[in-house]
Structure 1
Amino acid sequence: MNRPVLAAVDGSPASLAAARWAADEAARCGAPLRLVHAWPWPQRAAPGLPGVSEVRGQALCLLADTAEDLRTDHPDLNVCTALLDEPARQGIVAAARDARLVVLGSRGLGGFTGLLLGSVSLAVAARADCPAVLIRDEHQQPPAGQVVAGIDAHDPSEAVLEFALETAHSRGADLRVVHAWDPPPWWRSSPEEQRADWAGAVRAQKELRELQQVIRDHASGDVKVIEEVRPSGAAKALLQAAEHADLLVVGRSGRGRPGHLGSVAHAVIHHARCPVAVVPHG
């Protein structure tokens, strides 16, 4: 089964940027693209508001126009559209169950529906069964040829690493794997003092060896992998490493805890300049 790339659109700049990113990704990996718009359609309109048929017609036009624009850039791309008669969070999570990944705008007021897509995106990223990629509408960085992934060398997520490797391979990009570790308080000083601290340097080398072992257990020769350890908090380390990256890949904290995004994923979603992929640990 060739699972689709799913993109949720609501007319906001962020969601349209997400649809373009999703189309590029689907074309790159040879997958179909499915555009969805979710809204709990009422049986009758409230007084003073547009009728149900009118609002549904606007949603259908949005989907059709977006699909047509994307086909212009990707003539061979298989694009289908669907209206989901559910609240956005539940509808998109349900639609993503058979998807390769789901792509959403990370912020923005949602067009004619008034949907606050930012809150929906966070909820979907915390609950989707597949990786969720969140896109900022102002993302205009030129391709850097590098994917960055955050990996805990002491408790590595195979799902995160496999997704990052597959994505780097499909893009022909390098993969920078970053492991952050907390140094002792006396080591939080200047770089010169850090290098002179023998105990701290030994610890840093130990952390690097553990990360390298994780990579050896999973990586293949198809992707150039750069291992990096940083004596820092995880969110700060990842934001610095991914400043010019094409994609930042992080795991969803809390195995077996649906709805729990985690502090690191939450921080990088709000502050990363590049798209962020949140991968459930599985």
Structure 2
Amino acid sequence: MAHPVFVGVDGSPASLAAADWGAREALLRELPLRLVHAWEWPCSSAPPAGEEAARRWSEGVPQEVTDRLRRHYPGLDITADHVIGLPRDVLCQAAKYAEALVIGTVGVGRVAGFLLGSVAMAVVAHAEGPVILVRAPASTEHPVPGEESELPSPDPAAGAASPVVLGLDLGRPCDEVITFAFEAAAVHTAPLVVVHGWNPPPYYVYGLGAALKFGTDLSADKRESVHQALRPWRERYPGVAVTAQVVIGEPARHLLDAAGHAALVVIGRHRLTALPSVPRIGHIAHAVLRHCPTPVAVVPHGQGHARRPPSNGRRPGAQPTCAGP
């Protein structure tokens, strides 16, 4: 059974951008698209028109987005749900059954980065499946009932040559993140850029002893470790061109440098055994989510079991790792 691409919609410009991105992703993956709109009852923030008007508007949001998407993507299988419940809980539940869950975030400027709201933060921190955050221009206006806000016209060639970027950390075993990145590169017919950032020992930094030779050897060892970690996936995806960047320094900075012209950035999040009161996603993931200009996929890994095996069946024998907290 095919797992659909889910998109969380709320009528905002950011969610419309997410819906458009999710529709194109569903087409590329030949999967159905499912829109979900969560409305908390009773509504604690009803507009001046009243709670009944807010309810009618809320019920109309998924259908309006569906109609707009069908005008742009007439061959796409689209369904929509209006669900009463906490948005975080509804979206986390949807992520259990999704190939990926797509949600929108708002830009607030080049220096400040992107606004990762409380719902988005909670979903990224708690979802059991991949969550993709799509950027939209900053906007504080909420569409009023009946207001038209058209989606951007689709461009099938957009991003065709742009790479998928994967953040790789050799310190935590997992395969879910690497599999997701290779599959994304394959369906986008895009190259894959793997970024691994590391820091040499202090005595190398401060130039003690034969540090130069030791540092050169250590860099070579790191490159070889990355090569060996990726070997099973290179064999499974021979059509994906892979470039590995093994660089010294803060991983988040190097990921952001590589993301400038990327179609998608893929990072990991360590899977939690319990829901903490404060969402935690790790400093690398937080920096990338806050400042990366392109869509970011956060894939959970680690404790517990993956939701399902990789879609193409065989599990690789190696135990590589992925960027994350």
The alignment's TM-score, normalised by the length of structure 1, stands at 0.86
1:29 is the counterpart of 2:49: no
Aligned residue in 2 for 1:263:
283
- How far does residue 63 in structure 1 lie from its aligned partner after superposition? 1.6
* Cα distance, 1:81–1:108 mapped onto 2, change above 3 Å: farther
Aligned residue in 2 for 1:113:
none
* Cα distance, 1:255–1:234 mapped onto 2, change above 3 Å: farther
Aligned residue in 1 for 2:267:
250
* Cα distance, 1:236–1:32 mapped onto 2, change above 3 Å: same
Aligned residue in 1 for 2:212:
197
- How far does residue 51 in structure 1 lie from its aligned partner after superposition? 4.0
Q: Which has the higher helix share?
A: 1
Q: Distance in 2 between matches of 1:108 and 1:9?
A: 17
Any conservation in 2 of the 1:154–1:210 contact (CA below 8 Å)?
no
- How far does residue 29 in structure 1 lie from its aligned partner after superposition? 0.6
Aligned residue in 2 for 1:72:
71
Query: Which range is displaced more, 251-260 or 96-105?
Result: 251-260
Identity between Structure 1 and Structure 2 (%): 39
Q: Distance in 2 between matches of 1:66 and 1:82?
A: 11
Q: Distance in 1 between matches of 2:188 and 2:46?
A: 51
- How far does residue 95 in structure 1 lie from its aligned partner after superposition? 2.0
Any conservation in 2 of the 1:145–1:172 contact (CA below 8 Å)?
no
- How far does residue 158 in structure 1 lie from its aligned partner after superposition? 0.4
* Cα distance, 1:158–1:108 mapped onto 2, change above 3 Å: same
Aligned residue in 2 for 1:193:
none
1:85 is the counterpart of 2:84: yes
* Cα distance, 1:119–1:211 mapped onto 2, change above 3 Å: same
- How far does residue 188 in structure 1 lie from its aligned partner after superposition? 5.6
Q: Distance in 2 between matches of 1:129 and 1:146?
A: 26
Letter aligned with residue 201 of structure 1: T
Any conservation in 1 of the 2:266–2:297 contact (CA below 8 Å)?
yes
* Cα distance, 1:47–1:128 mapped onto 2, change above 3 Å: closer
- How far does residue 257 in structure 1 lie from its aligned partner after superposition? 5.6
Aligned residue in 2 for 1:2:
2
Q: Distance in 1 between matches of 2:163 and 2:61?
A: 33
- State the secondary structure of the residue aligned to 2:196: strand
Q: Unaligned regions of 5+ residues in structure 2, if any?
A: 109-114, 139-151, 307-325
Aligned residue in 1 for 2:170:
153
Q: Unaligned regions of 5+ residues in structure 1, if any?
A: 110-115, 190-195
Trace 1:220-239 onto structure 2 (pairs within 5 A): 220=236, 221-239=238-256
Aligned residue in 2 for 1:280:
300
Letter aligned with residue 136 of structure 2: D
- How far does residue 41 in structure 1 lie from its aligned partner after superposition? 2.0
- State the secondary structure of the residue aligned to 1:253: strand
Q: Distance in 2 between matches of 1:216 and 1:118?
A: 38
Q: Distance in 1 between matches of 2:245 and 2:47?
A: 58
* Cα distance, 1:136–1:74 mapped onto 2, change above 3 Å: same
- How far does residue 171 in structure 1 lie from its aligned partner after superposition? 0.6
Any conservation in 1 of the 2:195–2:244 contact (CA below 8 Å)?
yes
Q: Distance in 1 between matches of 2:180 and 2:46?
A: 48
Query: Which range is displaced more, 216-225 or 178-187?
Result: 178-187
- How far does residue 52 in structure 1 lie from its aligned partner after superposition? 3.8
- State the secondary structure of the residue aligned to 1:84: strand
The alignment's TM-score, normalised by the length of structure 2, stands at 0.76
- State the secondary structure of the residue aligned to 2:136: coil
Q: Distance in 1 between matches of 2:48 and 2:280?
A: 36
- How far does residue 108 in structure 1 lie from its aligned partner after superposition? 7.1
Aligned residues: 269
- How far does residue 175 in structure 1 lie from its aligned partner after superposition? 0.7
Deviation sequence 1:80-117 (CA, Å, 0-9, x none): 111110011111111222111100112379xxxxxx97
Q: Distance in 2 between matches of 1:51 and 1:155?
A: 50
Any conservation in 1 of the 2:46–2:54 contact (CA below 8 Å)?
no
